[in-house]
Chain A
Amino acid sequence: MSKKKNSSKESGNQSSVKLYAGAGAVIALIAVGIFIFVMNQRAETVDSINTVKSAHTESDIHIKGNPNAANRLIKYSDFGCVFCANQHLLLKQFLEEHGNDFSLEIKHFPINNNIPSRMAISAAISAGRQGMYWDMVDLLYANANEWRSDPYAALTRYVEVLGLDLDQFTNDMNDEDMMYEVVKNYFAYQELGINATPTLFLNGERIQNPRTYEQLVDQLIK
């Protein structure tokens, strides 16, 4: 009698184990499935941000050095950041000597989405539409204190210095699509993990910020 009771208890235990295991499996499957779905969705969003970006601003992308060079440098930078300006001088000197083997592209990362830096970025792109992108970049890096305190006066002066057409420049500065691109790219770069400037990449691999010119040459030409 007691034996029978025990065996029925055991089979009862077995079926409840099955019940709990089944419920646990269903719940775990739902949770994991949803997480994978959300992660895929997010990856697609980031992808679409990048595709739209490159499709839209292709003509506003400027490459220094040899555009077909095997070694591609990408620098995430804010024109108002002192370290970015110092690094720009090092990179400029480097490209003067090794411009055949290297290319440089600046990706604009206005820290905290700050307005003067965004205006400076627009100014560089607008100058680029008149063929003076890198000249404006040099001026912006060299005079950050000036345009950060009074962007309008400073940028107008640079337009005069470079001999740009002020009307066209103003028009381009007011290009809402461009401003939107700058902000959107800023957020897209954050999604890619950029969080400080300058951040330097060689062929997609992040490299340490060099302190001296010798260090830069050492890092880039191994």
Chain B
Amino acid sequence: MDKRLFRYFVLAIVLGIIGFADATYLTAVHYVGGEIACGEQGGCDEVTTSKYSMIAGIPVSLFGVFYYLCVVLISVWWFDQRNDAALNLILFLVIPAFFMSMWFVYLMFFVINAICWWCLVSAGSTTILFLATIYMKLKSL
């Protein structure tokens, strides 16, 4: 069990750092200005400047920064304390994050009609983390 949890939290740290870097980049572009590096078919600007990109005046990516930061810190805490409550904490974060991600992916493809690769990377890491967390939780029951 411990070995499996160990692998799980390594995965959580890796995904957390990927997501953190990704969300930090989008937040930095939002506040500093400039263009988002986006592929040929990408519409990052359209997505990140759409009316869905802010909640209460705060860019969605900034929420992402704190969420991924929490995931990383909780995982580090587990490596320190080996306290399995860490799994529940991540579960508590990843469930709303997963549904938020799905909602934003839906908006991107069906409402805004533009693809933002950075946002997809974030949605991808959250989905993987969500599935892994659910799997770990079911195994531990």
Using Cβ atoms and an 8 Å threshold, which residues of chain B touch A34?
Answer: 21, 24-25, 28
Interface footprint category on B: 10 to 19
A30 contacts B20, C-beta separation under 8 Å: yes
A23 contacts B76, C-beta separation under 8 Å: yes
Using Cβ atoms and an 8 Å threshold, which residues of chain A touch B29?
Answer: 38
Which among A16, A31, A41, A191 is the interface contact of B80 at CB below 8 angstroms?
A16
Which among B21, B34, B69, B76 is the interface contact of A41 at CB below 8 angstroms?
B34
Q: Mark A136-164, 1 if CB is under 8 A from B, else 0.
A: 00000000000000000000000000000
Q: Mark B33-73, 1 if CB is under 8 A from A, else 0.
A: 11101000000000000000000000000000000010011
> How close is B71's CB to chain A, nearest CB, in angstroms?
11
Also in contact, A35 and B32, with CB within 8 A (given A16-B80, A19-B76, A23-B72): yes
B76 contacts A42, C-beta separation under 8 Å: no
CA distance A191 to B81 in the complex (A): 49
A38 contacts B17, C-beta separation under 8 Å: no
> How close is A25's CB to chain B, nearest CB, in angstroms?
12
CA distance A18 to B79 in the complex (A): 12
CA distance A19 to B24 in the complex (A): 22
A35 contacts B76, C-beta separation under 8 Å: no
A42 contacts B34, C-beta separation under 8 Å: yes
Does A45 count as interface, using CB distance less than 8 angstroms? yes
CA distance A34 to B20 in the complex (A): 11
CA distance A142 to B32 in the complex (A): 40
Using Cβ atoms and an 8 Å threshold, which residues of chain A touch B73?
Answer: 23
Also in contact, A42 and B33, with CB within 8 A (given A16-B80, A23-B72): yes
Query: A20-B76, A23-B73, A38-B34 known; 20 other A-B pairs, CB under 8 Å?
Result: A16-B80, A16-B81, A19-B76, A19-B79, A23-B72, A27-B17, A27-B20, A30-B17, A30-B20, A30-B21, A31-B20, A34-B24, A34-B28, A35-B32, A38-B32, A41-B35, A41-B37, A42-B32, A42-B33, A42-B34
- Interface positions of A (Cβ within 8 A of B): 16, 19-20, 23, 26-27, 30-31, 34-35, 37-39, 41-42, 45, 191
Q: Which 10 A-B pairs have the closest CB atoms?
A: A42-B34, A38-B28, A16-B80, A23-B76, A34-B24, A38-B32, A35-B28, A34-B25, A41-B34, A31-B24
- Interface positions of B (Cβ within 8 A of A): 17, 20-21, 24-25, 28-29, 32-35, 37, 69, 72-73, 76, 79-81
